[in-house]
Amino acid sequence: MGCRIRHWIPNTVYSAVIRCVDRQFLLKPNHDPQQHPLLAKGCPETSLRAETKTLPRPSVLNTIGAAVARAQKLHPVHVHAVEANVNHLQLLVSADKSQIANLSPFFQTLDSTIARSLNRTHHRDGRLWSSRVRVTPCIDDRAAEQQLLYILTNPVKDGLLESVAESPLFTTYTSLAHGKPLRYWRIDWSAYQLAGGSRKKGHSPKDYLEWLRLELDPLPHQAGWAEHRRRAWVRRQVREFEEAKAAEMRAEGRRALGASALFALDPRGRPREAKENGPQPLCHASDPVARREYVKQWRELVRAYRAASIEYRLGMWEREFPEGTFRPPLVRCCGVLRL
């Protein structure tokens, strides 16, 4: 949210996006399309077996999936969809009242885990993400559905692919549309080192290989729908978008880039055209009346937060803050006593 106040509202769906530094193609696929999609190209499938000595190397797909699943395990929240483009990652999440404090650490764990892993994958260092995650609330059910469709069809919208189903990028479409389970692996290197690491004979990092499952939840207002109805709704919405986009591209005489071209991208490459980022919207809303009401409530929240922040910084440590917000950090100055 940039410099905005962090305000988490229970049972509200949030659309989140985080972009790679300099818009580099760091999320491009690097697996072999003919082999195991969770392993980097050139890594044998037998490396996931306990009896082999070869260490597995994660693909970008596995890196993202394992990071989301681990963040969800450590800081439980409701994940509704995750989609990767070649240079940015998008999520749709929410939390009930008991989970509201988990949203910030969820994003922190997710972002740092992906950054460290992809830096190793691409043999680079420094920042992977260009800025903080941009989180925007969806204040009505229709807005949440629109954001779900936007996230799932983003590569098609950008002219990278003709169909979501053929995407080699990370996507949760197959689970939302067909119920396919989302399982990813990781090696717990911290546990390996604490147990002796390479100093301990007969000790292998593969002893600490674990499988994680990414759990997807339906949108709050769709929770009462039958599962087959939710899947059919996702397939229908995506199909209608793909058909409309295909007709638009035919009329313009353009073709999608295609999956093979995505594999051939240089991870340090970037789009030729500069992107102009406008101001982040305060919220996503399909109803103008609901939007105006949210803006009114937001302004009241800001006034209450500022008043609480001033008193807190003046030493009123027990000052209560508006629900869903956080206390500001305190900067303490330590003087040096010279004799």
Closest CA to 18 of 131, 127, 105: 131
CA–CA gap between residue 167 and residue 121 (Å, rounded)? 21
CA–CA gap between residue 78 and residue 168 (Å, rounded)? 25
Closest CA to 234 of 155, 173, 147: 173
Q: Report helix, strand and coil shares of the chain as percent, to nearest 5.
A: 45, 15, 45
**Residue spans of beta strands (DSSP E) within the chain:** 13-19, 78-84, 88-94, 134-138, 183-187, 209-213
Q: For all residues of the chain together, what is the average pLDDT? A: 92
Contact 69, 214 (CB under 8 A): yes
Contact 32, 51 (CB under 8 A): no
Contact 105, 75 (CB under 8 A): yes
For each of the domains in the chain, give its residue range(s) and CATH number, in order of start: 13-270 (3.30.70.1290), 287-339 (no CATH)
pLDDT confidence tier of residue 145, bands split at 50, 70 and 90? very high
What is residue 268's three-state secondary structure? coil
CA–CA gap between residue 148 and residue 172 (Å, rounded)? 11
Q: How many residues does the chain have?
A: 339
The predicted pLDDT at position 1 comes to 35
The predicted pLDDT at position 322 comes to 87
CA–CA gap between residue 279 and residue 284 (Å, rounded)? 13
User: Taking 70 as the threshold, does the pLDDT of residue 305 lie above it?
Assistant: yes
pLDDT, mean of residues 300-319: 90
The predicted pLDDT at position 3 comes to 41
What token pair was written down for 329? 């950090």
CA–CA gap between residue 10 and residue 18 (Å, rounded)? 22
- Whole-model pTM? 0.91
Q: To which H or E segment does residue 249 belong?
A: helix 227-252
The backbone torsions φ and ψ at residue 294, rounded to the nearest 5 degrees and listed phi first, read -65, -40
User: Which range in 2-11, 276-285, 326-335 is most confidently predicted, on average pLDDT?
Assistant: 276-285
Contact 5, 302 (CB under 8 A): yes
Contact 204, 196 (CB under 8 A): no
Pick from 186-190, 270-274, 284-288: least confident? 270-274
Distances (CA, A) of 19 to 91, 128, 130, 157: 12, 9, 6, 17
Closest CA to 219 of 170, 148, 152: 148
Q: To which H or E segment does residue 8 belong?
A: none
What is residue 166's three-state secondary structure? helix
